[in-house]
Amino acid sequence: MKTSLTRSTLAVAALLLSASLALAVDATPLTPDAKGAAKATVDSAKATTATAKSSAKSTTAKAKAAADARIDINTATEAELKAVPEIGDTYASKIIAGRPYANKAQLKSRDVIPAPVYAKVKDLVVARKK
CATH of span 71-126: 1.10.150.320
Q: pLDDT at position 84, please?
A: 94
Q: What is the tens place of the pLDDT at every residue in 84-128?
A: 999 999 999 999 999 999 999 999 999 999 999 999 999 999 999
Domain coordinates in residue numbering, the chain: 71-126
CA distances (Å), 94 to each of 34, 80, 82, 83, in order?
72, 14, 12, 15
